[in-house]
Structure 1
Amino acid sequence: HVSQRAGKYLQLGGGEPTRQLLRIVTPELRLELRSAIYAARQQDAPESRIVEFETDGGRRKIEVRVAPMDMPEHGRGMLLVLFQEHEPGVEALPPRTASAGPYIEPVVREIEDELLRTRDQLRTTVEQYETSLEELKASNEELQAINEELRSASEEIETSKEELQSVNEELTTLNHELKIKVDEVSHTNSDLQNLMSSTDIGVLFLDRQLNVKRFTPRAQDLFNVIPTDIGRPLAHVTHRLDCDDLHETAKLVLDSLRVVGRELTSRDGQRYLVRYLPYRSIEDRIEGVVLTFVDVTDLRDAVEGRRRSEAALVLTEERLGLALRDTPILIAVLDDPLAVVWGFLRNRELTGSADALLVLFPGDQGDQFIRVARDVLASRVGQRVELDLAVEISLITYDFRIEPRPGGLAVVGFDITPSKLAETTLLDADRRKDEFLATLSHELRNPLTPLKVALDVLNVATDPQQIAWCRDVMERQVAQLTQLVDELLDLSRITQGKIQLDRVNVDFALVMEARSRPRARCSSSTATSSTCSYRGKRCGSSATRAG
């Protein structure tokens, strides 16, 4: 609170308005007011000060009183400041006592003068202090402004820090991606180096000036290059190829951007497929030429060998066709469902349908072939079977050999028709031989009986006629045995069925009479008798055998 008359003791300065009493009080009163306020707060008692100072209107004398006040509603530490102005000649000091003598007056004056000087010095010091305080206040304001600026700068720095942190994170991510890319490039470079080291192809990389940029180890087999030759012109590099226009061809490819390929021979006789290609970068820019050298010596030899093999195969097929044209063999390859994959029979292939082989079997022999084939497929064990085939207009017997193979069967049939005919002929010859032997046994038995009878008679005969008769019988039967032995030795007539009986009319009575004579002669000595009756007819027989 400020009273109405207190305004003449206050002085408002420029700048920011303030309610600080010590800042708005008249500068001449400021020091005494500060000391009085300090003393009143320390002693908690009223305190007064008298201040005299010069102004433009003359000399002034003001008493400053400070008294503590107890006002709980306004808080503690309330002070009441009173300004009272006195006349300059009026002393406000307490009256001196009568006991003070005249000798004290000079001392008091000297003390008062000293006090005045001290107050002037104190006032000067306070003014300097206030000036310094103002300067400090201005500096403080400047510092506050600087602090605000620094705060703004700090906020900007914080924002920049966040931005830098984001940029740092982006850079970290980018760095990680770049590291991955570098690793990939490193692995790719390693793979490329290993590929170039392990490949069997000579490669020579040239720049736009046709200088050597890079080469594979196999390129050193054709070119006299070492790692220090990187950057050396191609025209200065010696090689082992029978070609003198490598540089000109590479320049032509670089100018025309066309791929050139040709085959060259080295001085040691090796064949190489040489290709000239433009070197294209990732940006599709032409940055040089690539020369590749592929050793095709083995390939050429293989092609030549294949050509010779194909010619030999064609010749073999022709010879095989000629050999199989009249060969009685059937060859066929069947799949699992027994369909013909490939077959050959009597100079023609079994193609056109899956059952090209089965339709050739007559009657139920096709079913028999199917049964045997399925047994071979199930057991994976080969079998043999003899079956007939209707080929053209003939019925031919084949000995089939059916063997399992991956995915089907292999069938080979041999024509055994001549063998079968020969077997039939042999069986017929054997039958005729058996018939001949049976007849021969009977024929041999016939002469033996008269011989035995003649021998028996000869043993007991004493009559010369009987003895002559026995000799005659024995000679006749021995001749007949000789003739039978000669016929037995004629094997060709036996096998060919050329034995024939010479049939003549024989009087059976004479035969029986000739047969009965030995018996009659024997009967005469042994008292036996025999009776034979016949009708007197003739029959056709061999006279020798009948006799």
Structure 2
Amino acid sequence: MKYNVKIFATDLDRESIAFAGNGIYPAEIEKTVNRTRLQTFFTRVDAGYQVKPEIRKMIIFAPHNITKDPPFINTDLITCRNMLIYLQPDVQHRILSLFHFALHSHGFLFLGPSESIGRLANLFVPINTKWNIFQHADASGALALYQQASLLPVGAQAVKSSVARPQQAYFATRQTHIGGSSDTDELYRIFVEEHMPACVVIDDKQDVVSLHGDVNKYLALASGKPSNNVHKMFDSSISVAIVTAMSKIRKGSLEVVYDHVQTKGADHVRVSLVIRPLSHVVERFRNYVLVLFKDAERTPQFASTYGDMVTSVNQHVIELERELQMYQEKLQVTVEELETSNEELQATNEEIVAANEELQSTNEELHSVNEELLTINAEYQLNIQQLTELNNDMDNFLASTQIGTLFLDREMRVRRFTPAITKEINLLEVDIGKPISHISHHLKYDEMVQDAEKVLATSVPIEREIESKTGHWYSVRILPYRTAEQPIKGTVLTFVDITRMKQMNEELRKLSYAIEQSPSIVVITDPSGAIEYVNPKFCECTGFAQDEMVGRDIASLHVWGKTRRATLPYGVL
């Protein structure tokens, strides 16, 4: 026995709805589902097991916000388990009143074990308190309660939804509201459901936005990702007729009628379609269409005669010709759309060709620029290599020299120094950039910073001999640091160790004093015999002045000795 069952599976998350609509389960379900059920209800696919199409067609997967979107009315069973406990009490109250409004007069509500109907106990009859199964009690107060919850407009305004809602008699727009009582609304509902034909509203994108009345027998949901497109919701014969009529309406037709359209399903339902614009007044609904479904009249079945057979054949031929005409019209519309699309594609192609030419020109320019950049880069690489070698030479020179050198910028901060300077000034690599006044040293030179500032201001070098606390002597020269961009960019301090020279000068001073005070005659000549120095004792004994003897040949002393031997003390020469 077959049942016409429609199940609405809803959720806020569209990705979850799309995933559930595929109906694919992993191969691990073999461990929990017996083989008979697998063969009966599932089909083996690469990803595992997929629910058979005849079952999936019974289920409508749709995104739905239970607190904002209109309900699916005349529902026989609503299951909402373990969701209400996460909502505030006032929201729970609104949703439960919405459930009562949506249920059939004998429908059932199935809640979770931790949930209850609360203050709405008068609207539901408990069937099983253990499993929280309740039955609809009375529909008389449902609409008024639903309106009080601010979920249904008093005028029962038409609902626009992003998904298809079969059996959703949440009515077409009504401009005025008479009375406002629950009886009037109930009368309006009965009028729409029982006296108006089934109908759907379709937008300009060919998506079904609202369904009214019993349209279930015309639905033929396609497999795959859930969609509310007219081609996904109805049989192909109906969807082709609707789309063809929409094209005619866009061109100015006020109404399009197709009689005896037969579906291709197992039931072979015959239906007459009336397609007309939804509204000529409201601008936002001008491109919407209203599709009315009317059951085609069936011809009584009598005893077969030759005339009846001919009439039946002729009627069938007429229907086939009508269907052929409908498809020809659809084909013509499709051809026109394809021609328009082809023209647009040609224009787009021309634009793409022009853009491609521009890109090629730009590419050539970029290629030339790239070559120039490569040449400049090679030059820079050569310059960098030369600078690196020069820097290495300078580093080796400064490291090998015994002259301590200190470079200061205009703010008297350390820019660079040689290793030799670290013996007297406590400098480390981390001190570069610090003021020299913050660095300790062993020099008896408190005026070093002042002298550097003076050289920076006057550009006149300063030279001093400075003694260190360690006993060393240095010849300090402070020079301006000149560059091509700026005359003076800082100062350079050089420290030459003159300790050995100082010691030698002291020894020479002592030796010179000893010769000056010696009681013996001392004459110093160069290798050629020219006198360079005579001591005071010589001048005292000979009577000559020191200046007279400097430069004379030492041989002249021999002649002088013969002539004046008698006057000299014994043993002088």
- Give TM-score scaled by structure 2 length: 0.35
Going by fraction, where is helix more abundant, 1 or 2? 1
The structure with the largest alpha-carbon Rg is: 1
| More contact order relative to length (CA 8 Å, sep ≥ 6) | 2
